[in-house]
Amino acid sequence: MEALMIGVSGLRGTVGGTLTPMVAMRMASAFACWLKQTQKPANGRYFRVVVGRDGRPSGPYVRDAVFSGLMASGIETVDLDIVTTPGVAMMVKHARADAGLVITASHNPIQWNGIKLLTRDSVAPPPDAVAEIRKLYDDQVTSYERVENLAAPARNTETHALHTKRILDYIDVLGVSSKRYKVVLDSVNGAGCVATNTLLSKLGCSVIHINNTPNGQFPHEPEPTKANLTQLADEVKRHGAVVGFAQDPDADRLAIIDEHGEYIGEEYSLVLCAQWLLSKKPGVAVTNLSTSRMLDDIAARNGSRVIRTPVGEAHVVDAMIREKAVVGGEGNGGVIDLRVVPGRDSMVGMAYVLQLMADTGKTISQLVAQTPKYEIVKSKFECRREDAERAVAAIRSRYASEKIDVQDGIRIDWPDAWVHARASNTEPIMRIIAEAPDRATADARIAAVQEVVKTVL
């Protein structure tokens, strides 16, 4: 299903279909208008926006169209080139910029690309701001400047080195390095290729790096799911590595393979990092409604508590800032430490998992075995947002007597399980996720909700 998605996660569309150079330029122009209408430039003269991209083949033309819209609006652009999404978020503040744009479609296949918007706080704009930007886009409003008001473009090549240094500031580098861990890394030919290898090398790891050319030619479907990581699993076993790490194209998500070549999944990325961080400093952990109860168990074990938000990095970050959280993230492999960057960061996840291994002397499989086990089942199907909203209303009516949370779609909680049904923010699909102590119970919960959905779709 082709669609142009515009929401809190920015804009995404299909290359040559719903995403064209004109669409990209219109969005950049609308964003520039919004900045000029709602804020004052930090330097008192002109707005500065940092721009980075993942390695997708369509990236250069989307970047150039974005630059055209920004520069014509009198914005000073800072080209970061191919960098990770958390790297761009970090550079917004480091470069004293007023905003950031990331040209990426995250885990979406190669036929997609997009533009992620970041405010001067390095997070996605709030929903009301997104609505304002969307209206400027729809109305094709521009604020192009005369030549005397144009700002010269700039380049910055510091991102990878600075990102690596910031993470290492919170790691016992000598303690991890002394273990000489052998690690297999799959960067899916995405933006994480350069900085991640550097980080792991500085942590004393022997790195077997597969799919390590940032050209955006994905060797497998880029979402880091079990079905897509068979090569990584095989390489972990072949090399006798202690762990396999998988990134998505913009390197904000992390999935893990244990020392036996078994996929433990994205849910454990946040859980393992939280285990290390909360053991050092108990406090608040923040995650979304679709994330496993394992985090609640880890938090309770460490005298901490969990706060849940709607799905979306911005919601999690907002709650983390408000609650002064120790750790946050999402069950899709996104780990957030505000001290490094206010966004999901696969590199933070890798470093903290290695630190946990070094501190405990345990393998990934042993750490997983110590964590209460649940079965989580994730399903999705093509669905327009308006249809998804009708489906959610029907589910709410059917389960009105149960414990429900309607912050984002609907989540239903039982003593032994939960189900979360919602429309995706980034794709024209609906997701239904369930978790229970066993697969049969989780499947049954999803099947029951799907029956309700069928009555309205």
Q: How far is CA 211 from the centre of its chain?
A: 20
Question: At a CB cut-off of 8 Å and minimum separation 6, what does 22 contact?
Answer: 65
State the Cα–Cα distance between residues 66 and 53, nearest whole angstrom: 11
Q: Of 169, 177, 167, 163, which Cα lies nearest the Cα of 357? A: 177
- Give residue-wise pLDDT tens across range 199-212: 999 999 999 999 99
The 10 Å CB-count burial string (b at 16+, else e) for 365-386 is eebbeebeebbbbbeeeebebe
98, part of any domain: yes
Same domain, 37 and 75: yes
- Give residue-wise pLDDT tens across range 342-397: 999 999 999 999 999 999 999 999 999 999 999 999 899 999 889 999 999 999 99
How many DSSP H helices and E strands does the chain contain?
15, 21
Confidence of residue 445 (pLDDT cuts 50, 70, 90): very high
State the Cα–Cα distance between residues 130 and 215, nearest whole angstrom: 31
- Residue 450: CATH number of its domain: 3.30.310.50
171, part of any domain: no
166, part of any domain: no
Same domain, 110 and 247: no
Same domain, 135 and 32: yes
Confidence of residue 432 (pLDDT cuts 50, 70, 90): very high
Same domain, 138 and 280: no
Same domain, 355 and 395: no
| For range 122-145, the mean pLDDT | 95
173, part of any domain: no
201, part of any domain: yes
CB distance 56 to 110 below 8 Å: yes
Of 334, 369, 404, the domain-final residue: 369
Of 110, 126, 159, the domain-final residue: 159
State the Cα–Cα distance between residues 261 and 314, nearest whole angstrom: 33
Check residue 457 and give its pLDDT.
85
Question: At a CB cut-off of 8 Å and minimum separation 6, what does 90 contact?
Answer: 122, 159, 162, 163, 166, 340, 341
Q: DSSP characters for 366-420?
A: HHHHTSPP-EEEEEEEE--HHHHHHHHHHHHHHTTTSEEE-SSSEEEEETTEEEE
Check residue 46 and give its pLDDT.
94
- Residue 133: CATH number of its domain: 3.40.120.10
Q: Parallel, antiparallel, or unpaired for β 243-247 and 182-186?
A: parallel
- Angle, nearest 10°, between helix axes 159-168 and 346-360? 30
Check residue 1 and give its pLDDT.
55
Other beta carbons within 10 Å of 101: 29
Q: How close are the terminal C-alpha atoms of the chain, in Å?
A: 16
Which residue in 58, 106, 269, 290 is the catalytic one? 106
- Which pair of tokens denotes residue 10? 């920015």
In whole numbers, what is the pLDDT of the chain averaged over residues?
96
pTM metric for this prediction: 0.93
Same domain, 325 and 416: no
Of 93, 127, 159, the domain-final residue: 159
CB distance 298 to 305 below 8 Å: no
Q: Is 79 left (phi over 0), alpha (psi -120 to 50) or beta?
A: beta
Q: Which of 56-60, 199-203, 237-241, 330-334 shows the lowest mean pLDDT across its residues?
A: 330-334
Report, in angstroms and rounded to the nearest whole number, the Rg of the chain calculated over CA atoms.
22
Same domain, 381 and 365: no
438, part of any domain: yes
How far is residue 228 from each of residues 164, 252, 255, 384, measured CA to CA in Å? Answer: 27, 17, 11, 26
- Which pair of tokens denotes residue 353? 């998992």
106 is catalytic: yes
Same domain, 258 and 342: yes
Indicate the number of domains in the chain.
Answer: 3
Check residue 424 and give its pLDDT.
85
249, part of any domain: yes
State the Cα–Cα distance between residues 357 and 40, nearest whole angstrom: 46
- Note down the domain range covering 206: 179-369
Check residue 2 and give its pLDDT.
74
165, part of any domain: no
Same domain, 385 and 363: no
The 10 Å CB-count burial string (b at 16+, else e) for 190-212 is bbbbbbbbbbbebbbbebbbbbb
Same domain, 356 and 389: no
Confidence of residue 5 (pLDDT cuts 50, 70, 90): confident
Confidence of residue 422 (pLDDT cuts 50, 70, 90): very high
Same domain, 311 and 190: yes
- Which pair of tokens denotes residue 443? 């499947």
Check residue 425 and give its pLDDT.
73
Q: DSSP characters for 16-72?
A: TTTB-HHHHHHHHHHHHHHHHHH---TTSSS-EEEEEE-S-TTHHHHHHHHHHHHHH
Q: What share of the chain has pLDDT > 90, as a percent?
A: 93
Other beta carbons within 10 Å of 300: 13
Check residue 312 and give its pLDDT.
87
- Give residue-wise pLDDT tens across range 328-338: 999 989 999 99
Same domain, 359 and 214: yes
